[in-house]
Amino acid sequence: MSQQVLILPGDGIGPEIVVEAQKVLDVVNSKFNLGLVCDEALVGGAAYDEFGSPLPESTLAKAQAADAILLGAVGGPKWDNLEDRELRPEKGLLGLRSGLELFGNLRPAILYPQLAAASSLKPEVVSGLDILIVRELTGGIYFGQPRGIRTLENGEREGFNTYVYSESEIRRIARVAFESARKRNKKLCSVDKANVLEVTVLWREVLEQMAPEYPDVELSHMYVDNAAMQLVRAPKQFDVMVTGNMFGDILSDAAAMLTGSIGMLPSASLDKNNKGMYEPCHGSAPDIAGQGIANPLATILSAAMMLRYSLNHAQAADAIEAAVSDVLDQGLRTADIYSEGTHKVSTQHMGEAVVAAL
């Protein structure tokens, strides 16, 4: 009874950080006898360079066949000026999300006590921070039709996109959020712009309709501008936040940055059967690629999330998370989380320290 894991290193620092996560997976695989079988494929700019497409059919097929996917990151300046926008690395990522129907994006923003000093916020504002942002990932304005750039009768051009959600799309992501809140501190804040946008009027209505099914969860609503403010002012007021694709993109990045250590934050993108793709919250950081200084911990923690949510190996996930905490306790830090009095290490050293701690 083996489980198939597809590894997609991607671009920039992707390959460097994924290789460390792979080492960690190998160790728990044998230690806990998990029966994981790993395969690898190209996506993003790396896939474009090799196959002329950011999401080759063979990669999508492998991803569809796998039980779970671990992704590094995609994108870089090398491909930013590709004329045909469909060929850019990001399209590989968006194609995977929609091709695999990974509508449920879980983005935790957790402040590691060992790294409290890294935050740009005052310690009392962020200490103990633990928010989960649930972002809808296969709908909304990211995928809405019609879209494009057209020429008007007066000769000038106009760009347009469509922000659209159906009741069923809202309901399935809301369910993920209510269930997540139930397993945590039972507070769910839904973020919309219902005072202006009709699509989010429907969003709010569906959330309200579902609330009676979750009497143990306290549901509230907040406009997105206020949510952005409250994240800066008093982020600990939040437990779980749920929102659409575009607002989720913005708020999850802001929330991640509250911790000051985005190099530590994993994410999961799940389909309706909890099959998922796992990736660090940070990007491909082309500016530091190949230098061996990137932080592999977000990817290692993404692997732990993968074991927990998609592969049902909670014990192995716990072990990885404990090992990460351990190396932080030892004072090991990559450059992005380094502070005086700690010990600066390379990507590889950090990966191996986690392996050793296991």
Ligand X SMILES: CC(C)[C@H](C(=O)O)[C@@H](O)C(=O)O
Bind-site residues:
97, 107, 135, 225, 249, 253, 283-295
Q: What is the DSSP string of 57-83?
A: HHHHHHHHHSSEEEEEE---GGGTT-S
Q: What is the enclosing helix (H) or strand (E) of 136?
A: strand 130-136
- For residue 85, state whether it binds ligand X (rule: CB under 6 A): no
**Exactly one of 36, 100, 173, 258 binds a second copy (CB under 8 A); which one?**
258
Say whether residue 134 binds a second copy (CB under 8 A).
no
Q: 70 vs 74, which CB is nearer to a second copy?
A: 74
For residue 102, the minimal CB distance to ligand X (Å) is 11
CA distance linking residue 54 with residue 66, whole number of Å: 19
By a kind-dependent CB cut-off of 5 to 8 A, residue 98 interacts, out of ligand X, a second copy, none, with: none
Please select the residue that binds ligand X; options are 195, 212, 340, 341, rule is CB under 6 A.
195
- Please, are residues 96 and 279 in contact by the beta-carbon 8 Å criterion? no
Is 127 a binder of a second copy (CB under 8 A)?
no
Q: What are phi and psi of 23, to 5 degrees?
A: -60, -45
Stretch that binds ligand X, among 86-94, 122-130, 210-218, 323-331 (CB under 6 A): 86-94
Q: Does 125 bind a second copy (CB under 8 A)?
A: yes
Q: Which of 17, 63, 66, 93 binds ligand X (CB under 6 A)?
A: 93
Which window, 12-20, 55-63, 154-162, 328-336, contacts a second copy (CB under 8 A)? 154-162
> Apex CA 190: angle with CA 186 and CA 191, to 5°?
145
Measuring CA to CA, which residue among 271, 268, 294, 292 is closest to residue 283? Answer: 294
Query: Where does this chain touch a second copy (CB under 8 A) — which range of 36-44, 63-71, 146-154, 181-189?
Result: 146-154
Catalytic center residues: 142, 193, 225, 249, 253
Q: Which stretch binds a second copy (CB under 8 A): 14-22, 24-32, 227-235, 343-351?
A: 227-235
Q: How far apart are CA 181 and CA 217, in angstroms?
A: 7
Q: Is 120 in the site for a second copy (CB under 8 A)?
A: yes
d(CA 262, CA 349): 19
Residue 224 in contact with ligand X, rule: CB under 6 A: no
| Cα distance between the two ends of the chain | 24
Burial class (CB in 10 A: 0-12, 13-18, 19+), 51: middle
What DSSP letter does each residue of 34-51 carry, written as one string?
--EEEEE---THHHHHHH
* Residue in 133, 219, 262, 285 binding a second copy, rule: CB under 8 A: 262
**Is 342 a binder of a second copy (CB under 8 A)?**
no
Dihedral Cα 118, 244, 282, 342, nearest 10 deg:
20
Positions touching a second copy (CB under 8 A) are 75, 85, 88, 90, 94, 120-122, 125, 141-142, 144, 147-149, 152, 156-168, 193, 195-203, 224-226, 228-234, 246-247, 249-254, 256-258, 260, 262
Positions touching ligand X (CB under 6 A) are 90, 93-94, 195-196, 225, 249
